[in-house]
Structure 1
Amino acid sequence: MKKISILKATTLFFGVMLVSASIMQCKKEGDVVQGLNRSYTGGADSTVFAAFYSENTVNPSDLTPDVNDIMKFRGVQTIIHEYCATSNCHGGAIAPKFDTYAQIMNFVSAGNPEASKLWEFITTNNFDKAMPPVNSNHELNTTDKGIIYNWIKNGAKEKPTLADFRPAAVRLITDGCASANCHSQATATGGWARKGLIAGLTSADTSQFTYINPITSAVTVYCQLTNKTLLNQVWTAYKDSVKKFYADTLANASFRPWKTVSTPVSASSTRGPLNNYDDILMDVLYPKNVRTNSSVQYTDPVTLKQYYVKGDYLNSSDNFIRRMDSTLIYHNVRTGVAASKSGNMAYDDGGAKPSEVALIKAWYFADPNIPDIWKYGPTLSTPAQPGIFKYNKSGNFIKR
């Protein structure tokens, strides 16, 4: 009996100490729990892909969605299910329900997190309003709060749209591909500087680094234009000349680009910059293998000046989405000739996961700034192909 009493006393002592510590750390005074901070320190970020469901299928996709047709990202419904709509709480007998989209939207003011009851519940220090309950030790982490905040801020839609796809896709591309030795404006213009194509440079305007291929041990010395003002001037002028030339190759023949995007140690064409949305669009609309080739494409009959630029931007053997998605086979818009499947830019350059490739593809086919000719064709060959993208696995073409 004495041993049992000692055991009870010891248990009671530690229990009191634990409760006391909890009270000291987090004390309720009125309705507000003192010492507790459930606020969200982040803010609106449109580049965070925040969708209601954790799985969304790309439109268009194959009849049986392929691996790069499905976007799998942690979604709002999953977060709320884990924290609030459990079987013993708002997913069970306790009202109100926080299970379906319609039920959750009863507590959401689309576009305005601060005016949404849902947001108040997960960020308030009010003991009686907090969700999950303060004493549940199941607080939402910052990442999950950020997903909910940005989902509400972006319109609290049940299905994501272009407004959700584009910012997130552009960030994936620029972060993953536009590295210093890859699809970089500084490296492209640095190559021109090294070749003497930019006048008036000083040593302070450029820098260089050596890249050693971890597989082949091949060494490449890259020159970069580090003078930001000059870089912007040169690269903007190049893009303007490309756009003007292809708007009307006869009327704007004088704008035919003459600088090629190549390494400073080789004449072969390499990767074009993808530093921002405008760079990406140019790569889509005027593929690099058309506007900067490794061999002479045209010689001016009067000046005899040689150009490495094709006059027909639709006659391309490559395409941006082909380099991102290895499940698709691209067909030349002009000739209908199929290229080999690739996906090298996703897996080699950007290290993109299938869900990220799917997100980029969702943006590509939803963006009105990308003409249908670069999405569905039809090819201008005879006979015409039923599309320009065909699934490698099923043989189905993507159609409008």
Structure 2
Amino acid sequence: MKKVSIVQAVSLFAGVFFLSASLLQCTKDGELVKNLDRSYAGGPDSTVYAAFYESNTISTADVVPDVNDVIKMRGVQTIIHEYCNTSNCHGGPIAPRFELYSQIMQYVKPGDPEGSKLWEYITTNDFDKAMPPVNSNHELNTRDKSIVYNWIKNGAKERPDLNDFRPAAIRLMVDGCSSANCHNTATATGGWARKGIIPGLTSADTTQYTYINPSTGSVTVYCQLSNQTLMNQVWTAYKDSVKRFYADTAANASFRPWKTVSTPVSAISARGPLGNYDDIIMDILYPKSVRTNSSVVYTDPVTLKGYYVRGNPLVATDCFVRRMDSTLIYRNPLTLVETSKNGSMAYDDGGFSPSEVALFKAWYFADPNIPDVWKYGIGNVGIFKYRKTNNYIIKR
């Protein structure tokens, strides 16, 4: 009797195993068929950042892109490569290829995941069409399916644009900045309201939030409006007041916002809530350093009432991007005076990653609802300068 070596025996066993697995898939039999469910339970979600490439340099990047100039997030090309374009499959001897954008797009119908062959391969329960093969034990997870699905749904573009940047950036901002003591409606309305808008607003409607800095031990007490109904009314009235006043400061002088909440709490926060897109846009157009000066900047000659709100929003010593990105230096659009400290919200409070900061900037400079003066300054002279190179971001 001919002897069989251990190596030959192992090889023979492996061959039989893989052949059996292949036959199992082809004959659509066994437990794999009974328990198979490759469907995607999610749906369209524009807040999911879904791009084709893993790395995308934003349009306003420095000559040599800085750390906050590149969005590096898991992309469709990487997902398809990991699951389908391996050396023993579509990246090797098996056609078709799934590597280049042009190759993958042959199986994609932009805007219609359900009508795209690529999506069918990923989610079908048909063993003959399933990709990757079910017996490979290499199924796409829910997160990866979500990226592929939303990339196709959003148009299957080779490079992301405003429609990809904005929803994802706003979601990050809302989730990351509306904490208990930060940019939420309770804190904002506790410190600011327009006189006479909400009758009967008293200290009984407020509470306080005490924050102890874990690094320094310093204590800050924030005034917050606890009455939910009044909270929404006050913030809506305050935003209306701000927008009306700055639309025409002379004609709408009576709408100049005024501090009205008096409580036993010593510290009053003037941070505006960042709870939605409209809140964030208002914070950009009328920065808190303009709306919340630390001392009186205007006294009504008739009532002798002191106001803390500046008349020109462009005299801001602070702005949205300054608080997001430490690689940029901001200068006042009107006086061109530079601000030394940058990135305080992104690194001290929010803790956003470099890719997330890049995503914010990509949205900010692409959004037409943000005027050019808050992107490039008056006359396109530039108000954001890269620290490393001293290059200003200007409109090209």
TM-score by length of 2: 0.89
Once residues 108 and 63 of structure 2 are traced to their aligned partners in structure 1, the CA distance between those partners, rounded to angstroms, is: 35
Change (3 A) 1:17 1:209: farther
TM-score by length of 1: 0.88
Equivalent position of 1:389 in the other structure = 384
Once residues 147 and 225 of structure 1 are traced to their aligned partners in structure 2, the CA distance between those partners, rounded to angstroms, is: 39
Q: Deviations over 1:132-154 (max 9, x none)?
A: 01111111111100100110111
Once residues 36 and 22 of structure 1 are traced to their aligned partners in structure 2, the CA distance between those partners, rounded to angstroms, is: 16
Equivalent position of 1:360 in the other structure = 360
Once residues 350 and 263 of structure 1 are traced to their aligned partners in structure 2, the CA distance between those partners, rounded to angstroms, is: 28
Change (3 A) 1:67 1:10: closer
Find the residue that maps to 1:77 and give its secondary structure: helix
Does the aligned pair in 2 maintain the 1:188–1:273 contact within 8 Å? Answer: yes
Equivalent position amino acid for 1:164 in 2: D
Change (3 A) 1:90 1:270: same
Which 10-residue stretch deviates more, 10-19 or 123-132? 10-19
Change (3 A) 1:206 1:310: closer
Once residues 91 and 18 of structure 1 are traced to their aligned partners in structure 2, the CA distance between those partners, rounded to angstroms, is: 20
Equivalent position amino acid for 2:299 in 1: T
Does the aligned pair in 2 maintain the 1:261–1:270 contact within 8 Å? Answer: no
Equivalent position amino acid for 2:173 in 1: I
Q: Does 1:228 align with 2:228?
A: yes
Find the residue that maps to 2:210 and give its secondary structure: strand
Change (3 A) 1:236 1:217: same
Which 10-residue stretch deviates more, 210-219 or 79-88? 210-219
Counting only pairs closer than 5 Å after superposition, residues 1-400 of structure 1 correspond to structure 2 as 28-29=28-29, 33-191=33-191, 199-200=199-200, 206-259=206-259, 265-266=265-266, 270-378=270-378, 386-400=381-395
Instruction: Give 1:220 shift.
Output: 3.1
Gap regions ≥5 residues in structure 2: none
Q: Deviations over 1:261-318 (max 9, x none)?
A: 9997345654322111111101100011101111001001111111001001111111
Change (3 A) 1:302 1:370: same
Q: Deviations over 1:360-387 (max 9, x none)?
A: 00000000000000001136xxxxx831
Change (3 A) 1:328 1:14: closer
Once residues 218 and 369 of structure 1 are traced to their aligned partners in structure 2, the CA distance between those partners, rounded to angstroms, is: 38
Once residues 327 and 285 of structure 1 are traced to their aligned partners in structure 2, the CA distance between those partners, rounded to angstroms, is: 22
Gap regions ≥5 residues in structure 1: 380-384
Once residues 202 and 268 of structure 1 are traced to their aligned partners in structure 2, the CA distance between those partners, rounded to angstroms, is: 15
Q: Deviations over 1:104-163 (max 9, x none)?
A: 111111111111110010111111100001111111111100100110111111110100
Find the residue that maps to 2:151 and give its secondary structure: helix
Equivalent position amino acid for 2:304 in 1: L
Instruction: Give 1:33 shift.
Output: 2.6
Instruction: Give 1:198 shift.
Output: 5.7
Calculate the aligned-residue CA RMSD, in Å. Answer: 3.5
Once residues 13 and 78 of structure 2 are traced to their aligned partners in structure 1, the CA distance between those partners, rounded to angstroms, is: 40
Which 10-residue stretch deviates more, 141-150 or 385-394? 385-394
Does the aligned pair in 2 maintain the 1:210–1:220 contact within 8 Å? Answer: yes
Does the aligned pair in 2 maintain the 1:390–1:398 contact within 8 Å? Answer: yes
Once residues 274 and 261 of structure 2 are traced to their aligned partners in structure 1, the CA distance between those partners, rounded to angstroms, is: 12
Which 10-residue stretch deviates more, 146-155 or 207-216? 207-216
Does the aligned pair in 1 maintain the 2:220–2:267 contact within 8 Å? Answer: no
Does the aligned pair in 1 maintain the 2:187–2:269 contact within 8 Å? Answer: no
Does the aligned pair in 1 maintain the 2:272–2:288 contact within 8 Å? Answer: yes
Does the aligned pair in 1 maintain the 2:203–2:262 contact within 8 Å? Answer: no
Equivalent position amino acid for 1:142 in 2: T
Equivalent position amino acid for 1:218 in 2: S
Find the residue that maps to 2:363 and give its secondary structure: helix
Equivalent position amino acid for 2:392 in 1: F
Change (3 A) 1:204 1:83: farther
Change (3 A) 1:291 1:214: same
Instruction: Give 1:232 shift.
Output: 1.5
Instruction: Give 1:27 shift.
Output: 8.3
Instruction: Give 1:17 shift.
Output: 11
Find the residue that maps to 2:71 and give its secondary structure: strand
Equivalent position of 1:382 in the other structure = none
Once residues 237 and 26 of structure 2 are traced to their aligned partners in structure 1, the CA distance between those partners, rounded to angstroms, is: 61
Identity %: 73
Once residues 21 and 79 of structure 1 are traced to their aligned partners in structure 2, the CA distance between those partners, rounded to angstroms, is: 25
